[in-house]
Amino acid sequence: MKRFVTTILAIVMIAATTGCGNSQLSQNESASTPSSSGTSTSTGSDASPETTQSVITRGGHLTTSRIGITPLNPLKYLAFQGDKILLGFFFDSLLQMNENLELEPLLAESWEVSDDSKQITLRLKEGVKYFDGTEMTAETVKYCWDWYLDPETNGNFYGQINACKLVEAVDKYTIRFHFDEPDSGFLAQLTYQAGYPLAPSAIDEYKATGDDTIFAKKGGTGAFILSEHIEGVSTTGERNPNYHLMGEDGQPLPYLDKITVTIIADESVASANLISGDIHAVDNILLPATMQQIDSSGVAHTHDIGPMMWWISLNVTQPPFDNQKVRQAFDYAFNRQELIDVIGLGEGLITPWMILPTQSYYKDVPTTEYNPAKAKELLAEVGYPDGINVDFYYGTFGLLPTEAELCQAQAKEAGFNLNLVGLDGATVKTMWYQNSSENPAGARLWFGYMPKQTAYVQIEYQTGKDALQNNSRWFDDEYQELLSELKITFDEAKTREIVSRMQDIALEQMPMVMLQCKSRKIAFGNAAHGIFVDNDGAMNFRAAWLES
Partner 1 sequence: MISQIIKRLLAVIPHLLIVTIVLFFLIHLLPGNAATMILGDSSSSIDQLQQLESQMGFDQPVHIQYLQWLKNILLGDLGTSYLTGYPVANRIAERLPVTLELISLSILLAILIGIPIGIICAVKRNSAIDYFFSTILTVGIAMPAFWAGMLLIIVFAINLNILPASGYVPFSQNPLMNLKHMILPVVATSISLMSTIARQTRSAMLDVLGQDFIMTAHSKGMKWRKIYYKHALNNALIPIITSISIQISTMIGGSVVVEAVFILPGMGKSMIDAIFQRDYPIVMGEALVIAILIVVLYLFVDIIYAVVDPRISYNQKK
Q: 209: Cβ–Cβ under 8 A, 6 or more apart, which residues?
A: none
- Least Å distance, CB 214 to partner 1, is 11
Please answer whether residues 209 and 189 qualify as being in contact, where contact means their C-beta atoms are separated by less than 8 angstroms.
Answer: no
Neighbours of 413 (CB within 10 A): 14
For partner 1, the binding residues (CB under 8 A) are 2-3, 5-6, 9-10, 13-14, 17, 20-21, 69, 71-73, 76-80, 151, 154, 156-160, 210-212, 230-233, 262-266, 268-269, 272-273, 275-276, 278, 424-427, 429-431, 433-436, 438, 457, 460-461, 464, 466-469
Q: Which is nearer to partner 1, 24 or 37 (CB)?
A: 24
Helix, strand, or coil (residue 64)? strand
- Least Å distance, CB 438 to partner 1, is 6
Query: Cα(101)–Cα(122) distance, rounded to whole angstroms?
Result: 19
Q: Which is nearer to partner 1, 78 or 365 (CB)?
A: 78
Query: Cα(213)–Cα(230) distance, rounded to whole angstroms?
Result: 11
- Least Å distance, CB 292 to partner 1, is 15
Partners of 179 in beta bridges: 164
- Least Å distance, CB 427 to partner 1, is 5
Q: Which is nearer to partner 1, 169 or 457 (CB)?
A: 457
Using alpha carbons, select from 129, 90, 512 the residue that is nearest to residue 327.
Answer: 512
Q: Which is nearer to partner 1, 82 or 254 (CB)?
A: 82
Neighbours of 265 (CB within 10 A): 13
Query: Cα(129)–Cα(191) distance, rounded to whole angstroms?
Result: 19
Strand pairing report for 528-529 and 545-546: antiparallel
Strand pairing report for 224-230 and 234-239: antiparallel
Q: Which is nearer to partner 1, 189 or 519 (CB)?
A: 189
- Least Å distance, CB 285 to partner 1, is 17
Query: Cα(311)–Cα(445) distance, rounded to whole angstroms?
Result: 6
Phi first, then psi, for residue 317 (nearest 5°) are -95, -5
Phi first, then psi, for residue 414 (nearest 5°) are -95, 10
- Least Å distance, CB 476 to partner 1, is 18
Query: Cα(236)–Cα(257) distance, rounded to whole angstroms?
Result: 11
Q: Which is nearer to partner 1, 231 or 508 (CB)?
A: 231
- Least Å distance, CB 532 to partner 1, is 23
- Least Å distance, CB 368 to partner 1, is 28
Sheet containing 119-124, strands listed edge to edge, beginning at the edge strand earlier in sequence:
108-113, 119-124, 174-179, 164-171
Q: Which is nearer to partner 1, 137 or 454 (CB)?
A: 454
Q: Which is nearer to partner 1, 417 or 435 (CB)?
A: 435
Q: Which is nearer to partner 1, 9 or 55 (CB)?
A: 9
* Region of 346 on the Ramachandran plot (φ > 0 left; ψ -120 to 50 alpha; else beta): left
- Least Å distance, CB 13 to partner 1, is 5
